[in-house]
Structure 1
Amino acid sequence: MHRTPPLLLNTDAIELWPAALLRARSSTDARLLAQAQWVLRRKHDGRYLAAVLPRGVHSLVTHLPREPGVDLALATLDTRRAALEAQWLPMAGLQARLAQLGLDAARYAADSGLRLEAEPALLHYAGRDRFHRPLWLRRPAAQAWRRLRLHAAREGIALDAISGYRSHAYQLGIFERKLARGLTVAQILTVNAAPGFSEHHGGHALDIGTPGDAPAEESFEGTPAFAWLQAHAGAHGFHLSYPRDNPHGIVYEPWHWCWKPAGG
């Protein structure tokens, strides 16, 4: 019998994950995840907030109703999948995230030439990445990634995903961690797009690697996998986003590929 791939339901503050794909962090988590259908996961820190069980919602935090976005997240469960496929999340909180970094959306867009990327309301499971994390993409990108990887495997080339979809909140977390290590915002912007401007937000971009090669390093350029991608990725709709001397101020990223619809 054909089994529908798992879905990620996305809201501004909370993601709803299929419980079977999440890792238990305690014995209590394990018991709940074994019974749950969905888990509400806070986006900015990954905290599990509640488990949706056949008998109702089980809170994993105190004062669950006070958590921003809980009502919207639970209401999303009742939304038809076809409606979610066509929806993108509002970007009302983005300027506040950029302000934390001393950035202005309009000025950054003009300086970098990058466009704002909304988050999709629905993402599709595309297997697991190199680190055994669930890989989420928009449906056409997920289908294209499976075809691309199978094509490569048939020709003796092993490809793996380093990362796929990332939320605005997760992107801000990348900046916060690097700032804590002593980097400046200007230094970080040479290797990471500002929150709201990464192609990963839209669910169409992948960081691709090959087993045995360091993830997200320029050394990937010298692998047979990269040569194969240069020859064949375009036929599957994937294109290199940041070649050498790109106009966006981003360092050369031979690992970063984005799926684009024909004519898009």
Structure 2
Amino acid sequence: MPLLPPIPLKTYLRNTPEIELWPAGLLHARGNATARLLARARRVLRRKRDGLYLAAELADGLHPLVPGLQREPGLAAARRALALLPPPAGGARHPLGTLPLHRLHERLATLGLDADGYGVRTGLPLVAEPDWLAFAGFDRWHRPLWLRIDAARAWQRLRAAALADGIVLEAISGYRSHDYQLGIFERKLARGQSVDEILAVNAAPGFSEHHAGLALDIGTLDEPPAETSFEATPAFAWLHAHAGAHGFAMSYPRDNPHGIVYEPWHWRFDPA
């Protein structure tokens, strides 16, 4: 089977505590008026907690997509991020910063959790979000996949090496913000699950490896996502044998000390 061509890592997401700055070409329009703006836009300001498009950056400035844009929390930080120079095409020497652990205690309090107590009980560290992420292609559902640039390059190499051996690897999930992680809890709570039941499968907001842009949930063709049945596939056998050579390790084996269920699909890139 032919190798996949490498994906250019020149497209990036600029990250701020409340708002993400997305390349407009990677977003789907929501209505005709939005479509006309997005067709001419460079970037779109997207609210992290619910994905709402807030404003489009055009050549002549910022065009609001919601009423009351000036009152939007985090707008000042997003405007400052708009003015920053883009990471260079190589990216390796571009300084990578992290965001403050913004509103973490507030998020955890809504779930009845305390950051210090949860961290001690699980042994999971707090994980800050990077201030920019590289576009690493698309996931199974053709959603943009964002990773830290070193992890994005490693994922490309891993996927290409697997394909050379006849194994198709699919990304299921990459970077997730603290707000996105909280949304997972809120949706599962609405379906009747308890916080303790959710914590057996999902780390609390602020503690997921996905926040750092270093972790990937990986699947393969004709296999349901995030199921233990993945361990019986040739794709998992290939990962078990070869992922370490590309810097990836499975984070949550059976009987792991963090109280998280066995996740044969969850692999983390170690930048060291």
Partner of 1:216: 226
> In structure 2, what is the Cα distance between the partners aligned to 1:21 and 1:84?
23
How far does the alpha carbon of each residue in 1:182-208 deviate from its partner, in whole angstroms, 9 at most, with x for none? 111001000000000000000000000
Structure 1 SS opposite 2:217:
strand
Aligned residue among 74, 80, 86 for 2:85: 80
TM-score (norm 2): 0.94
- Residues 84 and 178 (structure 1), Cα distance of their counterparts in 2 relative to 1, 3 Å cut: farther
Aligned residue among 41, 64, 67 for 2:72: 67
Q: Is the 8 A contact 1:89 1:121 kept in 2?
A: yes
Aligned residue among 151, 158, 163 for 2:161: 151
Do residues 136 (structure 1) and 146 (structure 2) align?
A: yes
Aligned residue among 168, 172, 179 for 2:182: 172
Do residues 52 (structure 1) and 57 (structure 2) align?
A: yes
Structure 2 SS opposite 1:232:
helix
Structure 2 SS opposite 1:172:
helix
Structure 2 SS opposite 1:51:
strand
- Residues 94 and 84 (structure 1), Cα distance of their counterparts in 2 relative to 1, 3 Å cut: farther
Do residues 20 (structure 1) and 30 (structure 2) align?
A: no
Task: Say what the alpha-carbon RMSD is for the aligned residues.
Answer: 1.4
TM-score (norm 1): 0.96
Code of the aligned partner of 1:27? N
Deviates more, 1:127-136 or 1:73-82: 73-82
Partner of 1:31: 36
Moved over 6 A (4+): none
> In structure 2, what is the Cα distance between the partners aligned to 1:92 and 1:142?
25
How does 1:106-125 map onto structure 2 within 5 Å?
A: 106-125=116-135
Partner of 2:270: 260
Partner of 2:255: 245
> In structure 2, what is the Cα distance between the partners aligned to 1:84 and 1:123?
11
Q: Is the 8 A contact 1:112 1:247 kept in 2?
A: yes
Q: Higher relative contact order by CA 8 Å / sep ≥ 6: 1 or 2?
A: 2
The percent identity for this pair of structures is 63
Aligned residue among 3, 8, 11 for 2:13: 8
Please list every run of 5 or more consecutive structure 1 residues that lacks an aligned counterpart in the other structure: none
What is the CA-CA distance between 1:12 and the residue it aligns to? 0.4
What is the CA-CA distance between 1:5 and the residue it aligns to? 2.3
Please list every run of 5 or more consecutive structure 2 residues that lacks an aligned counterpart in the other structure: 1-6, 88-92
Q: Is the 8 A contact 1:240 1:254 kept in 2?
A: yes
What is the CA-CA distance between 1:81 and the residue it aligns to? 4.0
Code of the aligned partner of 2:38? L
Q: Is the 8 A contact 2:49 2:179 kept in 1?
A: yes
How far does the alpha carbon of each residue in 1:42-84 deviate from its partner, in whole angstroms, 9 at most, with x for none? 0000000000000111100001000001111011122234597
Q: State the aligned residue count.
A: 261
Code of the aligned partner of 1:123? L
Code of the aligned partner of 1:14? I
> In structure 2, what is the Cα distance between the partners aligned to 1:176 and 1:148?
33
Partner of 1:193: 203
Structure 2 SS opposite 1:186:
helix
Do residues 162 (structure 1) and 172 (structure 2) align?
A: yes
